Structure formats: C-alpha cells, structure tokens
Amino acid sequence: MARFVDRVSEMGTLEQEYRRDGSSFVVVYGRRRVGKTTLINEFCRGKSALYYLATEESEAQNRMAFRDMVADYLGNPLMPQVAFGRWEPLFEMLVAEGQSSEKLVLVIDEFQYLGKANEAFPSIFQRVWDTILSRHNVMVILCGSLVTLMSSQVLDYESPLYGRRTAQIHMRALPFSYYHEFFKKKSRRELVEFYSVTGGIPKYIELFEDDADIYRAISRNILNPDSFLFDE
C-alpha cells in the first residue's frame, strides 16, 4: 500500500505482546489481500526480526529455505552447507546464536502451507515452542490467509497448538470511515462508490487509488482481462 492506514488496534496488540516479559505467541489471520503482511512488516520496522514466508513446496524444501534465512540472519556462511533433517536444531541455533537483550520477532507467514506439506507440522511446532522458543525472549507471529486451515492447525481446540497463543488478531477489511485517507479529494458519494467496489480490501484500494474516475478505474482494474481482478 502507498500508506499504512488504520490498524491502530492491531498494531497496539502487537506492541503489547512485544513488551510482554519473556516469550509471546501471536496468531494473525484473515483473507488474502487484507493487509496482514503489511501490518507485520510495519510492526517489525526497527526491531530484530526474522521473517519467513512458507511456500507450497515440500516440507524439506521449506526447511532448507528456512535454514538459509536463519543462516543469513546469524551471519553464518557455513550453515547452508548443513542438511538439517529436523526443525528443532534450526530453532535452537536461532535462539542460541541470535539472542541479545532485544526481543527477537520470529514471523512465519502462510504457516498453513507447512501443515499442508506435513500434517504433523503443528505438533512439531508445538514441541519447538514448548521446549525451545517459549523459554527465550522471543515473540512468535504465525500468519495465514487460509482461514479454515489456520483454524484447524492453530486455533481450534483439537489443534496441538491450542492454548499456546497469547494473542490473536483477525484481520478484517478497512471500514468506510478511513476512505478519505486514500481518496482525499472525493465527495462522500464518490467515496461510497469506491467503497462499494473495493470493499475495504487494502490491495484493491491501492489499485484504485490513482484513478480520478470510478468508471475508468473499474474498466482498467476489473473489466480488463489482463488485470488480476478480472478473475479474482
């Protein structure tokens, strides 16, 4: 987004968890394009943070990519040469070598992909949290877009991770009251028109923000077969 607007409550929750003594465990979830990653990136600005974006690849490929991220964070050039067959040693190295007086923020985005690659991963991460991360000055943020999977893997009573989180944030669409921040020269009627089309979704607002005319914006961003919104 061109600007970071609203999300005062969500940012306040993250800052409160960051200031918590010891470890904290936050779950951020919501539909795609609603601004979860933007919120997290804004929160991590100026903090000691490691951000990992999971993919729909195999668990081994994700573990290898995470290893490389940890190696880069630690400044360890030898680490990428080691084949890690388990997740635990990676997290142990991260907290052992990367800890300082400042709290470490560990973000795993699209967490649900790891659970899709290995149904046992939520229980693996439970063990990682219980035996490693929870004992250090670490703030874990698990983020996901597939709400059903995030619920079953992290939030539901049956999930191995149930009861571990210290906070959860359900990201929702931006309210209409903030539209004047994006479309400063629009009348209330025009704001309603833009809201009716974009529905408070930050990514959609970003696409429409530079258009002076709502109908031209619709033609360019929705009716155009080359626009990603054409099939969205």
Q: Residue 26 — φ and ψ, nearest 5°?
A: -115, 135
The answer on pLDDT for 132 being more than 90 is: yes
* CA distances, 39 to each of 9, 45, 109, 144 (Å): 11, 10, 12, 13
**pLDDT for the residue 2:** 43
For β-strands 138-144 and 24-29, DSSP reports them as: parallel
Domain ranges of the chain: 8-170, 176-225
Q: Does domain 8-170 have CATH number 3.40.50.11030?
A: no
DSSP bridge partners of 25: 140
Coil vs helix vs strand at 24: strand
**pLDDT for the residue 87:** 97
Average pLDDT over residues 120-141: 96
Encode pLDDT of 18-40 as tens digits.
999 999 999 999 888 888 998 99
pTM to 2 decimal places: 0.83
Coil vs helix vs strand at 162: coil
